[in-house]
Structure 1
Amino acid sequence: MVEKKILIIDDEERIREIVQVCLQDLGGWDVVTADSGQEGLVKAKTESPNAILLDVSMPDIDGFEFFDRLQQTPGLKEIPVILLTAKVLPQDRQSFERMGVKGLIAKPFNPLTLAQEVEKLLDADG
Structure 2
Amino acid sequence: MSELERVLFVDDDPAIRDLIDVALSTVGGLSVRGFSSGEEAVAAAEAFGPQLLLLDVMMPDMDGPMTMSALKSLDSLASAPAVFLTAKVHGKEVDRLMGLGAVKVLSKPFDPMTLADELRAIWSETGGGTAG
- Give the CA deviation at 1:35: 0.5
Tell me what 1:88 maps to: 89
Aligned residue identity for 1:50: Q
Paired amino acid for 1:20? D
Query: Structure 2-normalised TM-score?
Result: 0.86
CA deviation after TM superposition for structure 1 residue 114, in Å: 1.1
CA distance in 1, matches of 2:74, 2:4: 23
1:21-60 equivalent positions in 2, closer than 5 A: 21-60=22-61
TM value normalised by structure 1? 0.90
Alpha-carbon offset, residue 9 of structure 1: 0.5
CA displacement at 1:2 relative to structure 2: 5.5
Identical aligned pairs, as a percentage? 33
Q: Deviations over 1:26-48 (max 9, x none)?
A: 22101111110100111222211
- Unaligned runs of 5+ residues in structure 2 are 128-132
> How far, CA to CA, are the matches of 2:11 and 2:94 in structure 1?
19
User: Comparing 21-30 with 71-80, which one deviates more in the overlay?
Assistant: 71-80
Shift of 1:15: 0.5
The answer to which of 70-79 and 111-120 deviates more is 70-79
Q: Give unpaired runs (5+ residues) of structure 1.
A: none
Cα distance in 1 for partners of 2:68, 2:125 equals 20
Describe the SS at the equivalent of 1:18: helix
Say yes or no: does 1:14 pair with 2:15: yes
